[in-house]
Amino acid sequence: MRDIRFLLKTHYTNSRALLIGINQYKDASPLSYAVSDAEEVRDILINELSFPRDNITYLVDAEATKDHLLREFMRFTMADIDLDERIFVFFAGHGHTRTGIRGEVGYLVPYDANMKDFSTFIRWDELTRNAELIRAKHMFFIMDACYGGLALNRNLHPGSTRFLKDMMLRYSRQVLTAGKADEVVSDSGGPLPNHSVFTGHLIEGLRGKAATEDGIITAGGLMAYVYGKVAKDKNSNQTPHYGYFDGDGDFIIQAPQLAELESSDEKDLDSLIVIPSVEEDYSKGNTTEKIRKVKSLLASDSAAIELHDYLIEEVSQFLASTSDDSFKMQGQFSQDELLKRVTRYEEVCNDLSILTACVAYWAKPIHKAILQKILARSTDRLEAKQGPAIWINLRWYPLIIGLYCAGIAAVEGKRYDSLSNIFYAIIGYSEYHNRDEFFVEAVANGISDLNSANVFKQFPGHESQYVPMSEYLFKTLQPKLDDVLFIGKNYERSFDEFEVLFSLAAADVRKQRNANTWGPIGRFGWKHSPHDDGPLKRIILEAEEMGERWGPIQAGLFGGRQDRWKSVASEVLQKMGKLNWW
């Protein structure tokens, strides 16, 4: 059978919808806002999302009988439905669940249902089975009702990325329901008057609150947005249920740039979609439990694959939590907003940075690829963006924390092999770079941009410091690293040694590329003077005494060559003497 992707287009040829709202039932108890919910969704589809009015079937109250509803649904199975269409199905009304010998069975309750006769209900799986007969590539079912029996999966995990046009070439059947079997729909008290909690948040999402900064709204993004809002709404006792029952594409609700991406036949222009974070997806325990898990996996070579999967899931969560949806690039700068963003970045990168430190400290040779992949993948969201430079540059902050945590841990454990793996992890080629970059040089450039903007000088208590970022990280990272590695009083020495090696490794990479021999100067800079032996001089002396036996050289730093090390150390030492900090 020919792959359907080769038959589909990267746009929709038509858009259709079936909308049902039932306030007044023949037998069941009435609802207050189901009809107004369906009406508002209809207006949004027509007026804001370009659904042709004639392609929308709208059934309310007595019109929404079982026979009528199923007949209109089966209308989508007709031959005039094109492969490249999208179909939107919305139901606001009662749901019902009955437990059978194989589990729960979910039902929708039509207008004429007899509450004592299940044959008058509509089984959910009757719709899913019949969806196989519908040619349209994308269908999105939204049910403002609570019921069980939905066999759904999550084909798109938080932090995953997909190309927009490619999603248009993949079949999908997606579902979002207001709640599960044992929950009661909140028919009022939502964010909008005259709408249920669920549909109130749905409406706000459709109107733009679920959009990415590029204005893209997908079913995946909308489901994540509604889930988070409804689950946390003070007037809600329900938890939405969502996912796929078939396919792996994504129903595209709005994508303003799609026409432009299709404009060239010579170039395959496309745009990556970031799958938003959904808290329900991720419940691996607290930080302490995660650390214990990673340590146990590091202890066994046979657990390397499990460790890889465990940590990549953490990276995926980190990427989702640091996406542009969570940290908007637009907006005016203010000190309050700066401090809020820094705090939030620290929160979302905490677990990943600590787990990476564990790997750096206890890694075996088999874990080298895992350590490098964690770091390389963590940079996936750093393509060029538009917005205030300070917000764009600040996106490097969680990567800086990750580098420092892993690097300090490696130095503390004398694991220079781990440090080498960290520094020389390759960030792959992209349209924004004409070559691969090493992690060490990419983070060094990020620090340079932040320092040029004097970002950390705007932190209270750091206004007059020579190296405010280094000073801030020195205090901020100590408790978390000490809790895991029990560094104690050796922390400052390990911190300084890491910063020296980081600076010199970055300078060495630049030197090899015939660029200015420069690396970030941290706290070790003001500890250096012509008259005192600071961390830099101490490390240079140690390297001279050890020669080829010096740990960093043996581990491959500076190409494993003493001459490279001596050359870059000499140049950086000369530049340090010109800082005029004494």
Q: Which domain holds residue 61?
A: 4-279
User: How far lies 399's CA from each of 168, 394, 396, 572, in Å?
Assistant: 32, 10, 5, 24
Same domain, 239 and 314: no
Helical ranges in 299-415 per DSSP H: 304-321, 335-362, 368-377, 389-394, 397-412
Identify whether 581 is part of a domain.
no
Half-sphere exposure of 4 (CA within 13 A, CB side): 17
Beta bridge mates, 16:
87
What are the structure tokens assigned to 576, written together?
């340090």
- Choose one of 251, 279, 307: the last residue of a domain: 279
* Cα–Cα–Cα angle for 266, 271, 273, rounded to 5 degrees: 155
Average pLDDT over residues 280-299: 80
Is the pLDDT assigned to residue 1 strictly greater than 60?
A: no
Report the pLDDT averaged over residues 240-261: 89
Find how far residue 528's CA is from the centre of its chain: 41
Same-domain status, 131 and 106: yes
| Residues 390 and 455 sit within 8 Å (Cβ to Cβ) | yes
If asked whether residues 298 and 266 sit together in one domain, one would say no
Q: For residue 41, which of 126, 143, 123 has the smallest C-alpha distance?
A: 143
d(CA 172, CA 134) in angstroms, rounded, equals 11
User: pTM of this prediction?
Assistant: 0.64
Examine the domain organization and report whether 235 and 340 are in the same domain.
no
> What's the mean pLDDT in 226-246?
83
How far, CA to CA in Å, does 303 sit from each of 298, 300, 376, 478?
A: 7, 5, 21, 30
Angle made by CA atoms 15, 320, 404, in degrees to the nearest 5: 160
One domain, residues 241 and 207 = yes
Domain count, the chain: 2
Could you give the dihedral angle defined by the CA atoms of residues 460, 461, 466 and 470, in that order, rounded to the nearest 10 degrees? -80
**Residue appearing with tokens 């204005």:** 215
Provide the pLDDT confidence category of residue 282 given band limits of 50, 70 and 90: very low
The per-residue pLDDT for range 396-454, each reduced to its tens digit, is 999 999 999 999 999 999 999 999 999 999 986 444 455 678 999 999 999 999 998 88
87-140 residue pLDDT tens? 999 999 999 988 888 788 889 999 999 999 999 999 998 999 999 999 999 999
| Confidence label for 371 from pLDDT (cuts 50, 70 and 90) | very high
Q: What is the mean pLDDT of residues 371-400?
A: 85
Instruction: Please give the helix or strand (H or E) that residue 218 lies within, else none.
Output: strand 217-218
Give the three-state DSSP class for 162.
strand
**Cβ atoms 218, 125 nearer than 8 A:** no
Whether 150 has a pLDDT exceeding 90, the answer reads: no
In CATH, what number is assigned to the domain containing residue 44? 3.40.50.1460
pLDDT digits over 477-530, tens only?
998 899 899 888 899 999 999 999 999 999 999 999 988 888 999 999 888 766
